[in-house]
Amino acid sequence: MTQDPYEILGVSRDASADEIKKAYRKLARQLHPDVNPDPETQERFKDVSRAYEVLSDPGKRAAYDRGGDAFSQGFGGAGQGFSFTDIMDAFFGGGAAGGQGRGPRSRARRGQDALIRLDVELAEAAFGVTRDLKVDTALRCEACEGEGTAPGTSPVTCETCHGQGEVAVVQRSFLGEIRTLRPCAACRGFGSIIPDPCRECSGDGRVRSRRTLTVKIPAGVDHGTRVQLTGQGEVGPGGGPAGDLYVEIHVEPHPTFTRNGNDLHTTVSLPMTAAALGTQLTLPLLEADLPQSADTADGEKPATTYDLDVRAGTQSGSEQVIRGFGVPSLRGGRGDLVVSIVVDTPTRLDPRQEELLRELAAIRGEETPTGQAEAPHKSMFGRLRDAFQG
Ligand SMILES: [Zn+2]
Ligand SMILES: [Zn+2]
């Protein structure tokens, strides 16, 4: 591990103060514990912060350039030797002091996730759809490139904590005096103060803005499904990385189809005569009347109807299952279409129709039905009860 602060920051020995600052900010954004908490990265972040502390201070930089040891003096305690945090770090490894001693905290933090609701039709949820969404989130301020400083200005080192972001607090205890580090109130722990904040974003480094986002909703989403769009949420303060955007799907009810998992249900009514004699129905299918989802891979239009054979003697309330005509699953495959059949009993018979029906009843011996009791249809509950009583 190099001890050369120039190497640590990746700058040349004649780098300007501005170049050093830029290099540090770039590294700090990648390595800051708020962004990347793994221990190895935190160690590198400390090294980078220490290197920056030397090179950002003209006196310390000059002393190092004259051949001094960059890390022999002044770290963690402004020239007063070991701080409490250093001792804790030495004994327990970094981070043992409960988040203390991390140096100045970065202004850049990850932004929050955002959630928006999208109303779609059943067919759009089933077959997928591409939509343009108006999204209202924080975006990086272009005027200051997320830095929060007015053009041509820079943050200045906090005088209270000398850029440490922390101040030492001495407490008396039975062990003697214990030095602990607290975040600096003057700079809120940043180690620097923005004297002239960017007017566009008031120094936050981000502005609220409305934009249009083209979102592809995959086939098979259901009511309540959240589609994750990585990095499309709120941009973080100080030019920090954006959170994710979640699009929560709300499916509007369809007039004739309902959905149960990946199965679709629909009900068709049938004249009594057709139910008795059998027939073929042209059943309209759920279809997406949107051009982008109406085309299949080979360019053929998917079928919009299904020829359903209704066998003679079909009962009212019976169901017919059409395999593979339900909703495509997000994990592949497709559910079924379940068709419930309702038999229409004719009303308002004219004399001729009534005559024919009476004749039919006579032939079938159905003139005086007895209203014979039938064994109840065994429901799930009934079978369960039988199982317990048996
Ligand atoms: Zn700005
Ligand atoms: Zn401070």
Radius of gyration of the chain (CA): 37
Tell me: do 218 and 332 sit in the same domain. no
- Residue 82: CATH number of its domain: 1.10.287.110
Q: Provide the pLDDT for residue 182.
A: 86
Cα–Cα distance, 91 to 29 (Å, whole number): 28
- Centre of ligand 2 from the C-alpha of residue 162, in Å: 6
Starting from the CA of residue 165, give the closest ligand.
2
Task: Using pLDDT thresholds of 50, 70 and 90, give the confidence band for residue 131.
Answer: very high
158: CA distance to ligand 2 center in Å? 5
Give 141 Cα–ligand 1 centroid separation in angstroms.
Answer: 5
Domain range for residue 84?
Answer: 5-92
- Cβ proximity of 328 and 219 under 8 Å: yes
| Residue 121 sits in the same domain as residue 247 | yes
Together in a domain, 244 and 310: no
161 alpha carbon to ligand 1 midpoint, in Å?
25
Residue-level pLDDT at 90 = 39
Give the residue carrying structure tokens 């400083």: 149
Q: How far does residue 140's CA lie from ligand 1's centre (Å)? A: 8
**In a domain? residue 357:** yes
Report whether 129 contacts 288 (CB < 8 A).
yes
How many distinct structural domains can be found in the chain?
3
Mean pLDDT confidence for 307-328: 93
In a domain, 171, yes or no: no
For residues 235 and 337, state if they share a domain: no
Same domain for 135 and 247 = yes
The residue-averaged pLDDT of 318-340 equals 91
| Farthest-apart Cα atoms in the chain, separation | 121
Based on the fold, state whether residues 119 and 244 are members of the same structural domain. Answer: yes
- Between the CA of residue 93 and those of 76, 83, 88, 100, what are the distances in Å? 15, 14, 7, 12
User: What is the structure's pLDDT at 293?
Assistant: 43
65 and 13 housed in the same domain: yes
Quick one: 130 and 47 in the same domain?
no
Residue 160, domain member (yes or no): no
How far apart are the CA of 199 and the centre of ligand 2, in A?
23
Q: Is 351 within the bounds of a domain?
A: yes
Asked if 22 and 83 sit in the same domain, the reply is: yes
Shared-domain flag, residues 143 and 240:
yes
Mean pLDDT, residues 269-294 taken together: 80
Neighbours of ion ligand 2 (CB under 5 A): 158, 160-161, 184, 186-187
What pLDDT does residue 43 have? 83
Residue carrying the six token digits 């943050």: 155
Question: pLDDT (tens digit, 9 = 90+) per residue, 156-213?
Answer: 999 999 998 999 888 777 767 777 888 899 999 999 999 999 999 999 999 999 999 9
Mean pLDDT, residues 334-343:
94
Summarised one tens digit per residue, pLDDT across range 82-121 is: 344 444 443 333 333 344 456 788 888 899 999 999 999 9
- Ligand at minimal distance from the CA of 158 is 2
| Cα gap 149→18, rounded to integer Å | 14
My answer on whether 213 and 317 are in the same domain is no
* 379 inside domain: no
What's the first-to-final CA gap in the chain, in angstroms?
77
Per-residue pLDDT tens for 347-379? 999 999 999 999 999 999 988 888 777 776 655
pLDDT digits (tens, 9 = 90+) for 30-76: 787 767 777 888 888 888 888 888 888 888 888 888 877 666 543 33
Q: Which ligand is nearest to the CA of 193?
A: 2
| CATH number, domain with residue 266 | 2.60.260.20
Q: Which of 92, 126, 142 is the last residue of a domain?
A: 92
Q: Taking 90 as the threshold, does the pLDDT of residue 247 lie above it?
A: yes
Compute the distance from residue 51 Cα to the ligand 1 centre, in Å: 27
Residues 246 and 319 in one domain: no
Q: Does residue 301 or residue 65 have the better pLDDT?
A: 65
